[in-house]
Structure 1
């Protein structure tokens, strides 16, 4: 298991899957170990995935100062990984909450990002958090599901701020298909997540949405904003809004997908992502190959 040292001395780990040009992957959760991403629906057959365990998750060490779990405080961890890998510029894929970190990194180091893929990323850092109405509207698209009537009250309770909803029912709204793969994915979540760090990651002090939007308005890197048709956060319209902030962005909405689209339809997800990443030809020097 390869490691590198963050600027504050914290030892961070990453995991390599597949062969080919490197793709740095930032997990969501927030603060869930990268293990849940697997091979991203077979994406490792096309790119060498560099799956970062954020500080205090997976095989990465916990920092001496818990305040460094804050999203903006982890930007230089991502940059240190780039330097460690010896990449002048890197392709980055971020999932969910990891997208906040990816956007902050791109704003601070715009010339170090070659291409950026934002997978079901809530544009919270840009100033558009999800609303209860959006989540409920997405949930009602599942009214035909046999579990809908018992799961909807759990979602409503969660949105009302109740601390202990039945997550086994609530989680069904996050998946396009509630099958054995989705159940196993959810069963592993508690063990893979750092709840203390998650509570600090999205500290409002980490973000200045107007400043971030201004910084990203001149980002030269092409960006793919990928949303799930059935996902409550972000809804496809929120993904389109986020893409409008970025000058070189395109939007893809995966049919029938929830918050983890590589589980719902691996072939569709991988095909669309690879198509975008392969469009790198003609944009100048790309990331070097990792040996």
Structure 2
């Protein structure tokens, strides 16, 4: 598989799937290996996906300095990937926590982004985290599900800090359909995620919401913020707040989907992303 060397010497791996114009994809988790993204619901049939394994995940090496797991310190890894690919400008997609990294990259290198898609991204970078009530309100939309009566009290206890998360129960709230495929996808997170890096990624010191908003004003690229109707982090309302931070952004809400919308309705997801990526690369 192809590799590159980050500015601090860390060896990073990326994976190529599909054909066509490249789309650089940053995974979430935070700090989960990119394999959970699969082919993004068939998007690889329309674009060549360049899936980066963030430092210390998947096939990428762990850095000498664990502090470099912090989100803002990985921006230069993304820039090194762009240079390695030989792209003057690139289409960029960030999922979940990967959207925080993608947004920081767009703020630091606005001239290098042709289009930016943010998929189910909590807008921590602008100081708007998902609250417990956001998650509970979204969870209540699932009251008709057979697993709800058991899972909802576990969610309440976790959000109140009264218990450790029981993902065998809580995982259901992150998927539009809690079927065998969703259970397998959820279970894989345990061994695909770097737990040490996960705790460091969203260090509050990585973000300066006021400065970021100012930097994003220089971004001329079109932005798509995609939320899911059943997701509590972010809710559609939070996604609209994130979209408002960009000069040229639109917000879309995928019906019936959870935090991984390409699994719940791949045709809807790929059609919406592909339509956006086919839009003009810049606006006046």
**Deviation digits for residues 138-173 of structure 1, max 9, x if unmatched?**
000000111101000111111112452321110100
Q: Per-residue deviation at 1:116?
A: 0.4
Q: 1:162-241 to 2 correspondence within 5 Å?
A: 162-241=162-241
User: Cα deviation per residue 1:62-114 (whole Å; 9 max; x = unaligned)?
Assistant: 00000000000000000000000000000001000001100110000000000
**Residue in 2 that maps onto 1:288:** none
Equivalent residue number for residue 243 of structure 2:
243
Residue 24 of structure 2: aligned partner: 24
What's 2:71 paired with? 71
Alignment partner, residue 62 of structure 2: 62
**Within 5 A, what are the aligned runs for 1:57-136?**
57-136=57-136
Q: Identify which range, 140-149 or 155-164, moves more after superposition.
A: 155-164
Count the aligned residue pairs.
283
Instruction: Give the Å deviation of 1:234.
Output: 0.4
More deviation, 17-26/183-192: 183-192
**Gap regions ≥5 residues in structure 2:** none
1:33 aligns to 2:25 (yes or no): no
Q: Deviations over 1:107-129 (max 9, x none)?
A: 00000000000000000011100
* Secondary structure in 2 matching 1:161: coil
Corresponding residue number in structure 2 for 1:153: 153
Which runs of structure 1 show a deviation greater than 6 angstroms over 4 or more consecutive aligned residues? none
Unaligned runs of 5+ in 1: 285-291
Q: Where does 1:246-285 land on structure 2 (aligned, <5 Å)?
A: 246-280=246-280, 283=282
Partner of 2:49: 49
| Cα distance, 1:217 vs structure 2 | 2.2
Other structure's SS at 1:98 match:
helix
Contact 1:122 1:130 in 2 (8 A): yes
Tell me the CA shift for residue 214 of structure 1. 1.2
1:181 is displaced (CA, Å) by 1.2
SS of 2:199's equivalent? helix
TM-score scaled to structure 2, two decimals?
Answer: 0.98
Aligned with 1:61: secondary structure? coil
Report what 1:3 is aligned to: 3
Q: CA deviation at 1:218?
A: 2.9
In 1, distance between residues paired with 2:28 and 2:257? 17
Q: Deviations over 1:39-81 (max 9, x none)?
A: 0000000000000000000000000000000000000000000
Aligned residue number for residue 287 of structure 1: none
The alignment yields a C-alpha RMSD, in angstroms, of 1.0
Residue 213 (structure 1) shift: 1.0
